[in-house]
């Protein structure tokens, strides 16, 4: 069969996507929607593991030496393993799969008006590699010596010498899992970019692409450009562990600082890799629920480019006290403070979008607004840490930890809930319960602040990270500090308990919720023009795009929204 014949066959095939057997529909799917849901559900399951780990080590900090209910006794090695894998899981197996791979898969083809990713089988392969990487990580908890405990940054020599880490197999399986995860996201990312570049609906120009899609693609490019050197570093670390090379060991002529550079050359852009998808999702949510055109579409886009570019030259602010030259540190102080300019501009554009809008406080909107508020605190505290003089005092304290969680909790958890509640009607064809959604929102957002605001205070009081029992330090064992720790831990338990409201709401709504119309939020983007949930093949007739994604409350129109695919003569 020649190419032309293949092409004709596929064009007709699309109109009648046949029903597939259960195996090919849900276990080995090629449909981007199912693959997206696979990523999201795997990520949610991993989030439960990560949350459980957080519960266990927070209990140890609040009630040191006591048996943790539903877990057991947390020893020092065990504590390190829990902290390390909590961080690893939440970033690599929750934030990235849910925000980028999961929602990216689900919404990119729908938002740009095509039937699937350009390489469905590559897409499936990416997920399968991702699944294997998750299984390898889980396996690492159960091998001799237990899971890796050298922190998610895995600095050598602790991570590369088994006699130091005491987790001979755990360390190697950990780095193997991370490397596999990188491969999965590189392959997935190529698919995402190519799809957006080539498979857009007729008429959809670059500046008509919704911000959510743009930002996922920019994130993917940042990831691609930053992860390569760390991938090489992961191979080198693995060889240090298993073959006996000394790339990162000073004893054999290697350089442990080199790992730190490779890690943070990836690690800092990684912040923006997970931030941008959430920023994009939030841009879409706030325009829909304030019924206003996005303020400064191009400006927002250019700030994202600027942020992405700058993110490659800030990494050494993680290493101010790692023995780098203070003159080099000065340069990185400047670049670090610079990067807050485009991000602040982006933030102000979002606030300007809200200004004067008819704001509806639906659940997704609450999540989106709380993201902006919480991330603002995360961003502002980051400026303290970017200044090397202050960082010498704050470094490796709970101030850093609180700052970090004020960025990553909004990005990962709040962003995820904003997206899930926003697209739930599209994904499952039913509405979520608003009341339960709001209870869950307040039950998550208030405890979140109760956990992490006090940790800023503990950090200022000099409390170091990665200490499993503060009772051994007279300065830190004081009762008033211990009270704060107990307060944070109790808040965490409250937060975790409120997640059951979400789980209940999620599953009950999925099967018993009110039927969702095609476009429950009166939004403009293409995914709302097809049925809920979209059929295999997404669209009955493929849409043509006539305008940008954010034409809300256009003067002279009866309706306050203007779908991207509505022909101009339909103007009434």
Question: Which conformational region is residue 522 in: left (phi greater than 0), alpha (psi within -120 to 50 degrees), or beta?
Answer: left
Choices 79-87, 192-200, 280-288, 525-533; region in contact with another protein by CB under 8 A: 192-200
How far apart CA 345 and CA 129 sit, in angstroms, is 38
Sites for another protein among residues 97-116 (CB under 8 A) = 109, 114-116
Site for another protein contains 186 (CB under 8 A): yes
Choices 154-162, 228-236, 360-368, 546-554; region in contact with another protein by CB under 8 A: 228-236
Site for another protein contains 251 (CB under 8 A): no
Site for another protein contains 13 (CB under 8 A): yes
Contact criterion met (CB below 8 Å) for 367 and 423: no
Q: Whose Cβ is closer to another protein: residue 226's or residue 564's?
A: 226
Q: What tokens were used for 100?
A: 């980028």
Q: Whose Cβ is closer to another protein: residue 195's or residue 444's?
A: 195
How far apart CA 284 and CA 276 sit, in angstroms, is 12
Tell which one of 45, 135, 232, 392 touches another protein (CB under 8 A).
Answer: 232
| Angle, helix 363-386 to helix 398-408, in steps of 10 degrees | 150
Tell which one of 37, 111, 262, 431 touches another protein (CB under 8 A).
Answer: 262
Residue listed under structure tokens 């304290």: 397
Q: Whose Cβ is closer to another protein: residue 215's or residue 422's?
A: 215
Site for another protein contains 194 (CB under 8 A): yes
Choices 15-23, 89-97, 507-515, 562-570; region in contact with another protein by CB under 8 A: 15-23
Least separation, in Å, of the C-beta of 401 and another protein? 29
Choices 9-17, 71-79, 283-291, 456-464; region in contact with another protein by CB under 8 A: 9-17
Sites for another protein among residues 414-453 (CB under 8 A) = none
Q: Whose Cβ is closer to another protein: residue 234's or residue 346's?
A: 234
Choices 167-175, 247-255, 405-413, 519-527; region in contact with another protein by CB under 8 A: 247-255
Q: What tokens were used for 166?
A: 């005491």
Site for another protein contains 20 (CB under 8 A): yes
Cis peptide before 519 (omega within 30 of 0): no
Q: Whose Cβ is closer to another protein: residue 115's or residue 566's?
A: 115
Choices 184-192, 423-431, 446-454, 512-520; region in contact with another protein by CB under 8 A: 184-192
Mapped onto helix, strand or coil, the DSSP state of residue 117 is coil
Site for another protein contains 118 (CB under 8 A): yes
How far apart CA 326 and CA 33 sit, in angstroms, is 50
Tell which one of 105, 133, 159, 191 touches another protein (CB under 8 A).
Answer: 191
* 481: Cβ contacts below 8 Å, ≥ 6 apart: 458, 461, 463, 470
Tell which one of 35, 49, 110, 193 touches another protein (CB under 8 A).
Answer: 193
Contact criterion met (CB below 8 Å) for 220 and 189: yes
Least separation, in Å, of the C-beta of 331 and another protein? 17
Least separation, in Å, of the C-beta of 311 and another protein? 14
Closest-CA residue to 549 (of 116, 104, 100, 111): 111
How far apart CA 268 and CA 271 sit, in angstroms, is 5
Tell which one of 244, 326, 556, 568 touches another protein (CB under 8 A).
Answer: 244
Q: Whose Cβ is closer to another protein: residue 239's or residue 372's?
A: 239
Residue listed under structure tokens 């605190």: 377
Least separation, in Å, of the C-beta of 253 and another protein? 5
Tell which one of 425, 513, 537, 563 touches another protein (CB under 8 A).
Answer: 537
Least separation, in Å, of the C-beta of 220 and another protein? 9
Three-class secondary structure assignment of 335-394: HHHHCHHHHHHHHHHHHHHHCCCCCCCCHHHHHHHHHHHHHHHHHHHHHHHHCHHHHHHH
Q: Which residues, in sequence order, are bridge partners of residue 68?
A: 72
Choices 131-139, 237-245, 404-412, 464-472; region in contact with another protein by CB under 8 A: 237-245
CB atoms within 10 A of CB 81: 25
Mapped onto helix, strand or coil, the DSSP state of residue 432 is coil
Which long-range contacts (C-beta less than 8 Å, at least 24 apart) are formed by 43-48?
A: 43/93, 43/94, 43/97, 43/98, 43/102, 43/416, 44/94, 44/98, 46/89, 46/93, 46/94, 46/97, 46/134, 47/89, 47/90, 47/94, 47/98, 47/413
How far apart CA 251 and CA 537 sit, in angstroms, is 58
Choices 38-46, 195-203, 448-456, 486-494; region in contact with another protein by CB under 8 A: 195-203
Tell which one of 26, 66, 72, 198 touches another protein (CB under 8 A).
Answer: 198
Site for another protein contains 197 (CB under 8 A): yes
Q: Whose Cβ is closer to another protein: residue 119's or residue 155's?
A: 119
Q: Whose Cβ is closer to another protein: residue 228's or residue 429's?
A: 228
* 274: Cβ contacts below 8 Å, ≥ 6 apart: 91, 95, 96, 99, 100, 219, 408, 411, 412
Site for another protein contains 252 (CB under 8 A): yes
Sites for another protein among residues 24-83 (CB under 8 A) = 24, 30
Cis peptide before 275 (omega within 30 of 0): no
Choices 91-99, 235-243, 392-400, 434-442; region in contact with another protein by CB under 8 A: 235-243
CB atoms within 10 A of CB 457: 16
Site for another protein contains 18 (CB under 8 A): yes
Q: Whose Cβ is closer to another protein: residue 168's or residue 255's?
A: 255
Sites for another protein among residues 318-337 (CB under 8 A) = none
Would you tell me which residues interact with another protein (CB under 8 A)? 1-3, 6-7, 9-11, 13-14, 17-18, 20, 24, 30, 109, 114-120, 186, 189-191, 193-195, 197-200, 204, 224-233, 235-236, 239, 243-247, 252-255, 258, 262, 537, 542
């Amino acid at each position: 069969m020649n190419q032309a014949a293949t092409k004709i066959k596929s064009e007709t095939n699309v109109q009648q996507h046949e029903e597939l057997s259960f195996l090919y529909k849900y276990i080995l799917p090629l449909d981007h929607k199912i693959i997206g849901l696979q990523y999201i559900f795997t990520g949610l399951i991993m989030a439960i593991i990560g949350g459980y780990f957080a519960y266990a080590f927070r209990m140890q900090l609040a009630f040191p030496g006591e048996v943790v209910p539903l877990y057991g006794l947390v020893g020092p090695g065990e504590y390190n393993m829990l902290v390390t894998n909590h961080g690893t899981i939440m970033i690599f197996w929750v934030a990235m799969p849910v925000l980028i791979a999961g929602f990216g898969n689900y919404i990119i083809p729908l938002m740009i008006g095509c039937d699937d990713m350009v390489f469905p089988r590559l897409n499936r392969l990416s997920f399968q590699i991702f699944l294997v990487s998750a299984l390898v990580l889980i396996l690492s908890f159960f091998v001799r010596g237990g899971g890796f405990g050298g922190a998610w940054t895995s600095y050598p020599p602790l991570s590369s010498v088994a006699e130091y880490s005491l987790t001979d197999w755990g360390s190697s399986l950990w780095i193997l899992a991370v490397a596999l995860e990188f491969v999965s996201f590189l392959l997935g990312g190529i698919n995402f970019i190519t799809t957006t570049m080539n498979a857009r609906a007729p008429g959809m120009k670059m500046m008509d692409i919704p911000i959510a899609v743009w930002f996922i693609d920019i994130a993917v490019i940042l990831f691609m450009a930053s992860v390569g050197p760390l991938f090489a570093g992961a191979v080198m670390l693995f060889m240090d562990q298993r073959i006996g090379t000394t790339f990162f060991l000073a004893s054999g002529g290697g350089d442990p600082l080199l790992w730190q550079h490779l890690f943070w050359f990836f690690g800092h852009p990684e912040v923006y890799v997970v931030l941008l998808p959430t920023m994009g999702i939030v841009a879409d949510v706030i325009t829909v629920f304030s019924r206003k055109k996005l303020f400064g579409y191009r400006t927002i886009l250019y700030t994202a480019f600027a942020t992405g570019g700058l993110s490659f030259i800030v990494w050494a602010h993680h290493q101010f006290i790692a023995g780098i030259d203070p003159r080099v540190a000065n340069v990185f102080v400047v670049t670090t403070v610079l990067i807050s300019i485009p991000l602040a501009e982006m933030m102000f554009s979002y606030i300007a979008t809200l200004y004067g809008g008819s704001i509806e406080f639906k659940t997704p909107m609450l999540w989106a607004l709380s993201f902006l508020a919480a991330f603002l605190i995360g961003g502002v505290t980051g400026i303290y840490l970017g200044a090397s003089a202050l960082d010498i005092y704050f470094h490796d304290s709970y101030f850093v930890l609180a700052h970090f969680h004020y960025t990553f909790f909004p990005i990962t958890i709040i962003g995820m809930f904003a997206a899930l509640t926003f697209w739930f009607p599209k994904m499952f064809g039913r509405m979520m319960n608003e009341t339960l959604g709001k209870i869950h929102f307040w039950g998550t957002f208030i405890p979140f602040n109760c956990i992490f605001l006090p940790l800023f205070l503990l950090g200022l009081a000099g409390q170091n990270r990665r200490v499993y029992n503060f009772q051994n330090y007279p300065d830190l064992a004081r009762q008033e500090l211990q009270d704060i720790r107990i307060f944070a831990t109790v808040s965490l338990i409250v937060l975790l308990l409120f997640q059951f409201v979400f789980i209940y709401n999620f599953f009950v709504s999925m099967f018993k919720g009110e039927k969702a119309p095609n476009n429950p939020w009166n939004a403009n983007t293409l995914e709302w023009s097809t049925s809920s949930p979209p059929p295999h093949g997404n669209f009955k007739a493929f849409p043509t795009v006539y305008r940008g994604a954010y034409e809300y409350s256009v003067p002279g129109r009866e309706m306050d929204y203007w779908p991207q695919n509505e022909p101009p003569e339909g103007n009434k």
